[in-house]
Amino acid sequence: MVAIAGSMSTNKKVYICFITALAMILAASPARAANSPGTESSSQKVSQKTLVVRADPRTGKLVRSVAPGKTSPAAKALPSIDISEMVEKAAHDNNVDPLLVHSIIQVESNYNPYAVSPKGAQGLMQLMPPTARDLGVRNSFDPRQNIEAGVRYLKYLQDMYQDDRLALAAYNAGPGAVEKYKWIPPYPETQDYVNRVGQQYGAAKKAAAQHLAEPAAPPVGVMEGTHPKLEPFVDAEGRLHLRTTQQ
């Protein structure tokens, strides 16, 4: 019996060592997160969270926990192609301007799909768990579910107030607060949120308009036909000059 007990104790130690090593490997693997958030959410600062996997030294079982990650205020997160496609589809399906959706995501979570605020708002558009449940979201950290639900909620608020400023205020502080004050609630957080999203949205629309206004490059092989024609002429003093004229 002593030999058996000693063998079982050794095997348990080997098992715990193996689990610990596996946990270290999993924890060292790169997490799928956007560049450092460093921005405030709708009603509070959003912090980047890191999933930590470790082995319980007593039971040997894997335990997952969420720990705050490092932030870099100087870094600016950029949306991935997949996120942009999700935004475009959700915005198109709900007749919402995708530039407004991007502006909200930028301010809410800085494109971090794993962002969690101190008050519990989750994901890209920072959905509170009760709101997410009401919208049929099963996993708020799934970017597609989160964005689709967030855009549907935004559209609902736009239809309710017929004013993007009030819709944003309700998205941040809740429809009850907007109904109470019949305007943007006098909360510094909410007023700052509406201003920040509005500035982001305005800058995005301006950039899009400038891009559309840029002249398109002529097709290859057509450049020769677009050159101006040179025409000689003599001025009043009898000097010869060249000037350009349109063909």
Residues 105 and 62 in one domain: no
Closest by CA position to 172, among listed 186, 189, 151: 189
The pLDDT of residue 213: 81
Which two three-digit tokens encode residue 62? 């894997």
Task: Let me know if residue 190 belongs to a domain.
Answer: yes
Q: How many residues does the chain have?
A: 247
- Boundary residue ending a domain (68, 95, 125): 68
Residues 99 and 203 in one domain: yes
Angle between the 188-213 and 98-108 helix axes, to the nearest 10 degrees?
130
Q: Please indicate whether residue 237 is annotated as part of the active site.
A: no
Residues 113 and 137 in one domain: yes
The pLDDT of residue 24: 44
The pLDDT of residue 164: 97
User: CA 56 to CA 4: how far, in whole Å?
Assistant: 24
Task: Let me know if residue 74 belongs to a domain.
Answer: no
Per-position pLDDT tens, the chain of length 247: 434 344 444 444 544 444 444 444 444 433 333 333 333 444 444 444 444 445 455 555 444 444 444 444 434 556 777 999 999 999 999 999 999 999 999 999 999 999 999 899 999 999 999 999 999 999 999 999 999 999 999 999 999 999 999 999 999 999 999 999 999 999 999 999 999 999 999 999 999 998 888 776 655 554 445 555 656 656 666 666 556 665 5
Domain that holds residue 28: 2-68
Is-above-0.85 flag for pTM? no
Catalytic residue, from 40, 88, 108, 148: name it: 108
Which two three-digit tokens encode residue 145? 């579910």
The pLDDT of residue 142: 96
CB atoms within 10 A of CB 72: 12
Which residue is associated with the tokens 């400023």? 165
Look at residue 82 and give its three-state secondary structure: helix
| Residue 242 DSSP label | E
